[in-house]
A and B are shown apart, each in its own frame.
Chain A
Amino acid sequence: SQTIHQWPATLVQPVGSPLSLECTVEGTSNPNLYWYRQAAGRGLQLLFYSVGIGQISSEVPQNLSASRPQDRQFILSSKKLLLSDSGFYLCAYERQGAPHEQFFGPGTRLTVL
């Protein structure tokens, strides 16, 4: 069976500090990986997706970046956080050969003060 992990679960960071959120998937190879941000009243916004190691597609120009250093690892980063970066960050995976079904992780609650 597959599982998806995210950490940390919660994070409080000052404005201008760096950010690194990690997502890992177990039990499947070469998954498609996604980062979403959820803000109140705005649903889930797709930030980045990756179909393989080193490949990143950006959906929304912003203060964030993503990387995929290993097959089942997806990292969301920022060099300098803004207040507007606060939100609930969700990682999701999609199995190769099984499209149309994304499985979400437990999320990271980020508060920028």
Chain B
Amino acid sequence: QQQVKQSPQSLIVQKGGIPIINCAYENTAFDYFPWYQQFPGKGPALLIAIRPDVSEKKEGRFTISFNKSAKQFSLHIMDSQPGDSATYFCAASQITNFGNEKLTFGTGTRLTIIP
């Protein structure tokens, strides 16, 4: 059962455009929503994250928009560059009985920025 749905599966945008990746979740126990960036053959790296009591967060050219009532959140990349070409994963985090966090990932979006 997929608890975090991500779309689109792939996305091609011209340099300078604003790619938008969308995610939706069902489990209201999720309490933190990170985005990860992964380059081919590498492990994912944390890009930006948001808590559900905030509607928007910006870090540099990356912005997360969060709609708690709709259980949806999205990643926007401003002034996209060819170096942003990577696979992006949204995730949702919940605390376990041991006090650590476990992540549920979306299926990923392969983003290509063309010059």
Residues of A within 8 A of B (CB): 32, 34, 41-46, 49, 51, 55, 57, 59, 90, 92, 94, 99-107, 109
**Chain B residues in 8 Å Cβ range of A49:** 96, 100, 102
Stretch at the interface among B13-21, B43-51, B68-76: B43-51
Interface residue B26 (Cβ < 8 Å from any Cβ of A): no
In the complex the two chains form, is A51's CB within 8 Å of B46's CB?
no
**Chain A residues in 8 Å Cβ range of B44:** 44, 90, 104
Instruction: Please report the C-alpha to C-alpha distance between residue A45 and residue B6 in the assembled complex, in whole angstroms.
Output: 14
In the complex the two chains form, is A100's CB within 8 Å of B49's CB?
yes
Instruction: Please report the C-alpha to C-alpha distance between residue A101 and residue B46 in the assembled complex, in whole angstroms.
Output: 7
Among residues of A, the one whose C-beta sits closest to the C-beta of B91 is A44
Among residues of A, the one whose C-beta sits closest to the C-beta of B42 is A106
**Chain B residues in 8 Å Cβ range of A57:** 96, 98
* A interface majority secondary structure: strand
Known: A41-B9, A100-B93, A104-B44. A59 touches B34 (CB 8 A): no
- The total of Cβ contacts below 8 Å across the A-B interface reads 62
Known: A100-B49, A104-B45. A43 touches B102 (CB 8 A): no
B100 touches which one: A32, A42, A59, A109 (CB < 8 A)? Answer: A32
A46 touches which one: B45, B49, B89, B103 (CB < 8 A)? Answer: B103
Instruction: Please report the C-alpha to C-alpha distance between residue A46 and residue B32 in the assembled complex, in whole angstroms.
Output: 17
Instruction: Please report the C-alpha to C-alpha distance between residue A43 and residue B42 in the assembled complex, in whole angstroms.
Output: 14
Among residues 5 to 64 in chain B, which have CB atoms less than 8 Å away from a CB atom of chain A? 6, 9, 32, 34, 36, 41-46, 49
In the complex the two chains form, is A100's CB within 8 Å of B89's CB?
no
**Chain B residues in 8 Å Cβ range of A90:** 43-44
Report A78 CB to chain B, min CB distance, Å.
21
